[in-house]
Amino acid sequence: MPELPEMENYRRLLHERLAGQRITSVSVEREKTINLPVASFVARLQGNSFVATGRRGKHLLFHLQSGDVLLLHLMLGGFLYWGTEADKLDRTAQVTLSMGNHRLYFHGLRLGYLHLLTREEAEERLADLGPEPLDPLFTSDQFSRLLQKKRGVLKSALVDQHLLAGIGNCYADEICHRAEILPLRRIPSLSPEEAGKLFHSMQTVLREALQHGGYMEVPLFHEDHLTGGYNDRCLVYDRGNEPCPRCGHPITQDEWSSRKVFYCPSCQR
């Protein structure tokens, strides 16, 4: 599932391409992907223009000239593609927005959604999300205080969107590995020093992942050489039985609460 770095990478790249663009046509192949009858969805979008592209946690927000907001959550398997009819992917798009010759294709939204909301509805939908991990005003002390509210396992706290917005399975494991702490540690056992180490690890991992375009497998557009660049930089996630890049011990693949967990039992404590 795309996480903060993937969605922020999309936001930056799409803002450059969409700002000021007028939607000339709308195609909906799967009505369950949207929140309105198709005719109403099309009528409110066609002729509208993009003003800005935002992000909150794992959501993208397409702000429109009308004041409405398109709220996107890709969930598992969703991805975007920006291109023309000539270079489109050989896959069905659940929704397609056309801007003249260019189109924004929404793929893989069997679990995800693209909802057209008023600004107030969008704010209400996102109101219970936790703080952004990379917000310049979010401090190590605030992070420690949030952790102290939890009594369970560290990984469950890191992926809890009400606690922090944007971290999922992959980056939770990468953050814990960078901090040399087991993702299945009980939170009350963490020392203040370890909480501080987790905070700085979180900042480092997320910024590095964003710098390299996250781990998406499909480029956003033709000749996009940024998106997905973090795929080969993950140190533990999806690397079960491979040697730990820090100590050489085989990486363990485990499962906790129906989630995959990857860690090094030798150098993570």
Q: Which of 55, 56, 58, 239 is catalytic?
A: 58
Return the structure tokens found at 159. Answer: 């992926």
Q: Rounded CA gap, 70 and 233, in Å? A: 32
For residue 259, indicate whether it is catalytic: yes
Annotation says 2 is catalytic = yes
Pick the catalytic residue: 12, 44, 125, 259?
259
Contact partners, residue 230, CB within 8 Å, separation at least 6: 5, 208, 209, 212, 213, 214, 215
Alpha-helical runs (H) found in the chain: 4-18, 38-45, 119-126, 140-148, 154-158, 169-178, 192-211
Identity (one letter) of the amino acid at 5? P
Cα(77)–Cα(68) distance, rounded to whole angstroms? Answer: 26
Query: Where in the sequence numbering do the catalytic residues fall?
Result: 2-3, 58, 259
